[in-house]
Amino acid sequence: MRRLVRVDLLLAADLWLSAMAAIGLHDIHKIGAERDRRSTGLTSNLDPKEWLALTCHPVLA
């Protein structure tokens, strides 16, 4: 996880193709929070409204 925090540009494609466990959401949030002043791109084929149905945490969805 440390390498993901340090890279200059992090791209994560096709998030939420299936339900995500709480630990996965926690890891994504932690990586994002620690990437201060670094570029990050997240993509998904789902509408953001659909994310809530696939996550166990409404705040992180």
CA distances from 16 to 2, 21, 38, 43 (A): 22, 10, 22, 9
Q: Which pTM was predicted?
A: 0.63
Ordered per-residue pLDDT tens for the chain, 61 residues: 889 899 999 998 887 666 677 677 788 889 889 988 899 998 888 887 787 777 766 666 5
Q: Which residues contact 29 (CB under 8 A, 6 or more apart)?
A: 60
Domain boundaries, the chain: 2-54
CA distances from 42 to 9, 16, 27, 55 (A): 11, 10, 14, 16
**Separation between Cα atoms, residue 16 and residue 39, nearest integer Å:** 20
